[in-house]
Structure 1
């Protein structure tokens, strides 16, 4: 309630759920996005609550899914323990029954042995069938968990890799014998767009920016590193190739005519700036630092530049 009052939000089911989940789970995608939008004391608006509904739904489904996975794992663990116990009992019963037949007067009757084997076959068949069913359930559960893990690998706003999704890729970079090229880039006037038109419009512009990167940088890996900071990674290629790609993206972004959906009013020119650095046998953090130094040069003044050398 204090959260809603501080942001002057109407107490609707959606705003209440948003506040509840964001405060209880600050490390979730929803919690992090709320923290980003309210950084510096900015208040959320009703438009923010509406635009955050997809993340809210995803968080609710993830929480429900997590509980379901825990219950399913518990049930399947109990079933597996029960089947293991059944298999052990079958072995004990077989050993006991065969010993009884051997210790009986005279030679064991063929009919008795046949009956014993028939019972054993029935029990084994039933156990195998239950194990096959359990195996299928475990495979299905693993696929659900894997799918949920993959969702965290993708930035929900833009659809490119998140830092989580890029971890294995980043870890391999120092071992690449042919080296790599890294560009850091972002919109020059992102904050101004937010101030003039609001967060939703700024997010739409960011999606357009990413679409422009995808078109111009085919074959490169794109990562949303932070809010307005994107990494473009090209492995085994020269610096000149990524420089040409980023110049193409810069030109294409400048040429776009972006308008407000409701009124059709032009937003104005939207530009990007980028810094590019190369690395071979070194961690990405080192190359990222150099690329960011170049991007700082590129954004000086009015921006709209790509810098790969000081």
Structure 2
């Protein structure tokens, strides 16, 4: 009894029970499944609130952004130093940009050298022809040397041409790599990182902005009943529906079963009509299993929508849209809530 009492806090509550409650709250707030891996992650995070894992999570969730399952897998829960993920992303961006500049500079240099060697080759060819028309052994010897030099120049031109093609291909691959880093591999939509960058660019332009946060209703039950392969097909279907209905606006997979839409140049009423058309289209569609054509059941999503003000930051705008999403969930799902 004495040992148990010593472990209790000032409020008389067992610290272990209190930690258990905080873990449950964390998983609920982040909309993470209460599986062993996520529970272990939350335990390591909350048991050491000043540790490296906590600092990494704080950087990722700055502004009210929720963790995704991929974030959990990337960060892990081992008790070891964890680098700031935003710093890693920025460093990688810098390295890719620097490499691109070097490749482009190399390509320009090779092009300039090639132009010079072409001119040099033409001059040598003209000199060789002139020498061959002259008389005398010395002239013939010089002509032979010049011809050999001309052949070397032509070989160098061929190598430079090959190097130019390789540099161009490398630059294309780097551009593809940068694009892939901002794209969700399952749905092929822009990811959270690309969404945040697009918002920053749109806000800087001064154009009107509305933001929506959407979440598939009861998505966990789809995975539990039919498996993750079917869940992935549902995610793709929602992605296609949102992209089609919100054409001309940026649709991103924000993480897990959550999507975000950045409406530019339209007011709140127009954005709501567009988003509600997407919601209604998803709700009325009959989804079936590919394997046996059995009905999948109702698939719907809920959404929160808000218009940006001059005082808004990205974090405040996203938080407000997320609060409206929560209101839509509370209201029964398969609906929208907005300003």
The answer to whether 1:256 aligns with 2:294 is no
The answer to whether 1:298 aligns with 2:328 is yes
Cα displacement (A) at 1:195: 2.2
Separation (CA, whole Å) in 2 of partners of 1:295 and 1:215: 21
Match of 2:338 in 1: 308
Normalising by the residue count of structure 2, what TM-score does the alignment of the two structures yield?
Answer: 0.55
Unaligned runs of 5+ in 2: 1-35, 38-68, 78-102, 121-137
Match of 2:166 in 1: 137
1:134/1:264 Cα in 2 relative to 1: closer, same or farther (>3 Å)?
Answer: closer
Match of 1:170 in 2: 199
Match of 2:319 among 286, 289, 293: 289
The answer to whether 1:228 aligns with 2:247 is no
Alpha-carbon contact 1:176-1:280 (below 8 Å) kept: no
Match of 1:196 among 213, 225, 231: 225
Separation (CA, whole Å) in 1 of partners of 2:289 and 2:160: 59
The answer to whether 1:275 aligns with 2:304 is yes
Partner of 1:173: helix, strand, or coil? helix
Partner of 2:289: helix, strand, or coil? coil
Separation (CA, whole Å) in 1 of partners of 2:229 and 2:155: 58
Partner of 1:232: helix, strand, or coil? strand
- Of the structure 1 ranges 128-137 and 238-247, higher mean CA displacement relative to structure 2 is found in 128-137
Separation (CA, whole Å) in 2 of partners of 1:128 and 1:280: 59
Cα displacement (A) at 1:296: 0.8
1:222/1:35 Cα in 2 relative to 1: closer, same or farther (>3 Å)?
Answer: same
Alpha-carbon contact 1:258-1:267 (below 8 Å) kept: yes
Alpha-carbon contact 1:160-1:223 (below 8 Å) kept: yes
Normalising by the residue count of structure 1, what TM-score does the alignment of the two structures yield?
Answer: 0.60
Cα displacement (A) at 1:110: 6.7
Partner of 2:254: helix, strand, or coil? strand
1:156/1:263 Cα in 2 relative to 1: closer, same or farther (>3 Å)?
Answer: same
Match of 1:265 in 2: 294
Match of 1:180 in 2: 209
Cα displacement (A) at 1:138: 1.5
Cα displacement (A) at 1:140: 1.7
Cα displacement (A) at 1:154: 2.3
Deviations 1:92-125 (A, max 9, x none): xxxxxxxxxxxxxxxxx87777666555444433
Q: How does 1:63-74 map to 2 (within 5 A)?
A: none
Match of 1:154 among 173, 176, 183: 183
Unaligned runs of 5+ in 1: 1-5, 8-30, 40-72, 91-108
Partner of 2:210: helix, strand, or coil? strand
Separation (CA, whole Å) in 2 of partners of 1:147 and 1:178: 29
Partner of 1:257: helix, strand, or coil? coil
Partner of 1:203: helix, strand, or coil? helix
Partner of 1:154: helix, strand, or coil? coil
The answer to whether 1:246 aligns with 2:275 is yes
Partner of 2:192: helix, strand, or coil? coil
Separation (CA, whole Å) in 2 of partners of 1:130 and 1:203: 48
Deviations 1:45-67 (A, max 9, x none): xxxxxxxxxxxxxxxxxxxxxxx
1:140/1:259 Cα in 2 relative to 1: closer, same or farther (>3 Å)?
Answer: same
CA RMSD after TM alignment? 3.7
Q: How does 1:56-135 map to 2 (within 5 A)?
A: 118=147, 120-135=149-164
